[in-house]
Structure 1
Amino acid sequence: MTGSAEKIFEALGDPVRRYILELVADGEQAAGTVVAAVQRYTRISQPGVSQHLKVLREAGLVRVRAEGTRRFYLLDVEGVEAAQSWLAHLVDPVTQFAQPLDALATEVARGRRARKAEPGRSAGESSEPDVRHA
């Protein structure tokens, strides 16, 4: 597991942090709103919620925006995509090759079109060598 994925899944291991992610997934939330919602969810101090937010920030799962003295938290889509990518790799390890294979298919098709467009070529003529197997 990469360092980034490891931090992400360590952060997701705590139910309070998962709850915070659910809160900010609905849109940007003021720090005070997050603290109040988490305190309704479980008994925790404001510094405790701040610590959870710090872990989520360091893992790349939330971003913070400052506006004067207020802080606003929102879901960091890149962190979520990193987690999804790592999990998808477990299910289908070949997915990492999908894009390069698509590019190869495009180049093969481009080459075929270029050969067909060559002047002086009849419709049935092929530039491929005639290889016969026994």
Structure 2
Amino acid sequence: MHPFEVLAEPVRRRLVEILASGEHTTGELEGVITTEFGVGRTAVQHHLRSLRDAGWIDSRDDWPNRCHHLRHGVIEHIEGYVFDLRRLWDQRVGWNGEEQSPFEPQHTRKGKRGHRRDPDDIWLHALD
């Protein structure tokens, strides 16, 4: 699964953020995600399984808990895609750089489905 596809889903992105800090139990992850997103345990399990199937996390049984952690190399994998985008950006043609960037907030600019872009969204400015 492409890293941006994984990170496009807010629940999976949040799970990756939490797991970047270290190993956590299923219960800890469910507690955070259900509180922040208002989804049930089944949805959290689904996203953990998706991350595991994509090779992003490993899980181990530590009775009575199951512990999850990011696999080594995941961050480097993401950085690789960002590096490739940066390289393409640096080699771009057809834009002189003096115009306003499409990522800078504009009061009249709207994103998908009519929602305004959040200028404080860290993912929006990830390539800055």
- Structure 2-normalised TM-score? 0.62
> Is the 8 Å Cα contact of residues 20 and 34 (structure 1) preserved in structure 2?
yes
Once residues 7 and 48 of structure 2 are traced to their aligned partners in structure 1, the CA distance between those partners, rounded to angstroms, is: 12
Letter in 1 for 2:47: H
> Is the 8 Å Cα contact of residues 61 and 80 (structure 1) preserved in structure 2?
no
Asked if 1:47 corresponds to 2:42, the answer is yes
Give the alignment partner of residue 19 of structure 2, picking from 15, 19, 24. Answer: 24
CA displacement, residues 69-125 of structure 1 (integer Å, 9 cap, x when unaligned): 4210112231221121122022226xxxxxxxxxxxxxxxxxxxxxxxxxxxxxxxx
Once residues 44 and 53 of structure 2 are traced to their aligned partners in structure 1, the CA distance between those partners, rounded to angstroms, is: 14
Which stretch shifts more, 52-61 or 31-40? 52-61
Asked if 1:38 corresponds to 2:33, the answer is yes
Q: 4+ runs of 1 displaced by more than 4 Å?
A: none
- Provide structure 2 residue ranges, at least 5 long, that are not aligned to the other structure: 89-128
Q: Which residue of 2 aligns with 1:64?
A: 59
Once residues 49 and 5 of structure 2 are traced to their aligned partners in structure 1, the CA distance between those partners, rounded to angstroms, is: 13
- The alignment's C-alpha RMSD in Å is 1.6
- Structure 1-normalised TM-score? 0.59
Letter in 2 for 1:56: L
- Provide structure 1 residue ranges, at least 5 long, that are not aligned to the other structure: 94-134
Once residues 20 and 53 of structure 2 are traced to their aligned partners in structure 1, the CA distance between those partners, rounded to angstroms, is: 17
Of Structure 1 and Structure 2, which has the larger fraction of its residues in helix?
A: 1
**Larger radius of gyration between Structure 1 and Structure 2:** 1
Over the matched positions of the two proteins, sequence identity in percent amounts to 27
CA displacement, residues 42-75 of structure 1 (integer Å, 9 cap, x when unaligned): 1111111000111111222222122234210112
